[in-house]
Amino acid sequence: MSNLRYGLKEVANVIFFDISTNKPVLFFDTLKVSTIENESESAEARGGQGNNKLMSWDFGRTASLTMQDALLSDTSLAMLSGNEVKTTGIRAVAREVLTVSASPFKVTLKDTPIGSTVTTYKVVNGIMTAENTTFTVATKDVTFTTGMVQGDQAMVFYEYLVTDINATQVTFSGNAFPATYKVVGDTVVRGEDGIDRKMQFYIPKAKLQSNFSLSMDVENVSTFDFNLDILTEAGTNRLYDIIRL
């Protein structure tokens, strides 16, 4: 076997597989970074004049996979939460600024509010001022008894049930955490001969970490981190394989 030397530059496309079914659950093809980090501990024997290092032993090898994705999906967010994506019975909060119509002095909301969740405020020169509590609600119409006249602006807050069939909800709860997956990544290396060859990493078991951030920044585009602890495979003591094809 020749000792082929090659350069590694390209980010990997990564697949997560369900451990129990061995079926793919998510495919990452928009990653910016995919890094396998390796660490281990060591013990040393020291002695003699100057207490110099005489011998050392390595133990406790660990590895981790760090990925940074340019895009976020409902599925990847749900994996971080440890819960399923919800598509029905979604309750959301709305805020609308509306102009009061002629007598009866009222505004019509975009969605139907739930119960007694409606609160209203008068808006003056674009600023929310005093709360107005003298109103009635019928379906989507909020009718003011006093404090509002035609042409005034009202800021209305309320909760409603989402009817859009494309809406989703991911819940982060205190008793649900990310699962363990089999992970496979495909990338490309270039040999000294100028030929590109496929390279793959194969991780039998990796636990997705719970820690992550959702940054909403007016000036910078957010990226999304997925960090995994690579676990030792039972019976083989294997952490992962690097396969050049």
What domains appear along the chain, each with residue ranges and CATH number? Answer: 6-40+57-85+168-244 (2.30.110), 91-161 (no CATH)
Cα–Cα nearest to 9, from 212, 244, 190: 190
Strand partners, 237: none
In Å, how far are 66, 101, 115, 157 from 142, measured between CA atoms? 51, 11, 13, 11
* pLDDT tens-digit map of 126-137: 999 999 999 999
- List per-block mean pLDDT (blocks of 10 residues) for the chain, which spans 245 residues: 85 97 97 96 95 95 97 96 96 98 93 96 96 96 95 97 96 96 97 93 97 92 96 96 94
* pLDDT tens-digit map of 55-78: 999 999 999 999 999 999 999 999
Give the per-residue pLDDT at 233: 95
Give the per-residue pLDDT at 1: 61
Give the per-residue pLDDT at 166: 96
CB 36 within 8 A of CB 25: no
Residues 6+ apart with CB under 8 A from 174: none
- Mean pLDDT score of the chain: 95
Give the per-residue pLDDT at 79: 96
List the Cα angle 36/39/44 in 5-degree steps: 165
Give the per-residue pLDDT at 43: 96
Give the per-residue pLDDT at 113: 97
Q: Which two tokens stand for residue 135?
A: 């109103």
Q: What is the DSSP letter of 169?
A: B
End-to-end CA separation in angstroms for the chain? 13
pTM (two decimals): 0.85
Q: Which two tokens stand for residue 240?
A: 């992962």
